[in-house]
Amino acid sequence: MRIVVVGATGNVGTSLIDALAEDDKVTSVLGLARRRPNWSPPKTSWVQADITSDDLVPHFKGADTVVHLAWLFQPTHSPLITWRNNVEGSIRVFQATAEAGVPVLVYASSVGAYSPGPKDRAVDESWPTHSLPTAAYGREKAYVERVLDTFERDQTGIRVVRLRPGFIFKRESASQQRRLFAGPLIPNPLVRDQLIPILPNLPYFHFQALHSSDAGQAYRLALLRPVRGAFNVAADPVIDPQQLAEILKARLVKLPGLALRAGTAAAWRLRLVPASPYLLDLVGALPTMDTTRARTDLGWSPRHSATHAIEEFLEGLREAAGMDTPPLASKAGGLLRSREIATGVGSKP
């Protein structure tokens, strides 16, 4: 099998390529990325391509599966840039898949595509995917779901699979995720045990997570198994404030949610953090996902708990861990994080 992975150098892409390298059914992998990495995994060759502008059809021809993972989280202050990459770029990937005659398309959707839902019970893949319209990430994920609905209706000869994972962590993604969400002003040692003495106790702040290697295995199974449709993917347990406090050895304190959001909004507007307050709203609105279909139809079972994934990520954060790919490089922010500051902390790519 020849697999094309679009967005192959990021958190999930690198884990998927590791999983494919160990699978005897996979003969070759073509990784597409905007910036060519120095990383040289088995079976994998690289091509530098931008999904918003380059001709993708020649790279897709002869492939058995296209896996579309490419996504921009930043700049949050320039949503037109993320829209062009995430929505218009995804449309170009889907169109090129059909034009190249690829029989299987696997797309990385997200728990963020779901409409607001319950925390006290799990919802399956039939829950509406209209997201929270104020959050660019969710809005874009939901829009691409609608695009994919039409694509799936029109391209009946293509087996389409969409995975909706929770929040994905691994040690090597720590530096990238700090840049994307926390920004340059957060010192790495701050996340060490007991250096965060208190944690806000926000009852609605429940979310699901999984280890990146488990996400990679889910994508591997999705492209190999004769399945279609959507799959929720997350590990147990559901993370709540109590569990976060135990991981950080912090004490929970009551704090009005409006006060926390106001502080986040002020920091974002002042270009102190890159993550927008709307992302906080989105996390608070997400439903809890039922992962039964992934475990039964895909035969997927996570090797790591959600707490282990977060603990490993925090360890990587303290050590400024990364990988030899442009998105995951530990020094991508420049000397003393100067490049992060120069791009306006969420204002420019």
- The pTM score is 0.95
User: What local confidence, expressed as pLDDT, does residue 126 receive?
Assistant: 98
**Is residue 49 within 8 Å of residue 56, measured between CB atoms?**
yes
Regions of the chain with pLDDT less than 50: none
Give, in degrees to the nearest 5, the angle at Cα 280 between 293 and 337.
110
Query: Do 130 and 145 form a contact (C-beta atoms < 8 A)?
Result: no
Report how far apart, in Å, the C-alpha atoms of 26 and of each of 61, 105, 341 are.
Answer: 16, 16, 42
Do residues 122 and 288 make contact, with C-beta atoms less than 8 angstroms apart?
A: yes
pLDDT of residue 198: 80
Whole-angstrom CA distances from 146 to 131, 150, 153, 200, 332 are 12, 7, 11, 36, 34
The SS3 assignment for 99 reads helix
Per-residue model confidence as pLDDT tens digits over 191-209: 665 667 788 888 888 999 9
**How many other C-beta atoms lie within 10 A of the C-beta of residue 204?**
12
Which residue do the tokens 């019970």 mark? 121
Token pair of 73, please? 């989280």
The strand order across the sheet containing 235-239 reads 167-169, 207-211, 235-239
At 100, give phi and psi (nearest 5°): -80, -5
Rg of the chain taking only CA atoms, in angstroms:
19
How crowded is residue 230: how many other Cβ atoms within 10 Å of its Cβ? 22
DSSP state at residue 159: E
| Confidence (pLDDT) at 333 | 86
How far is it, in rounded angstroms, from Cα 326 to Cα 314? 21
Which pLDDT score, from 0 to 100, does residue 335 have? 77
> Omega before 203 cis (within 30°)?
no
Nearest-angstrom CA–CA distance, 139 and 349: 19
CB 317 within 8 A of CB 245: no
What is residue 191's predicted lDDT score, i.e. its pLDDT? 63
> Which residue, chain included where needed, has tokens 């029989």?
103
How far from the centroid of its chain's Cα atoms is residue 108's Cα? Answer: 8
Percent of the chain whose pLDDT exceeds 70: 98
Q: What pLDDT is stored for residue 340 in this prediction?
A: 87
What domains lie within the chain, and their CATH numbers?
Answer: 2-174+205-237+284-307 (3.40.50.720)
pLDDT in tens, 71-94: 999 999 999 999 999 999 999 999
pLDDT at 300: 98
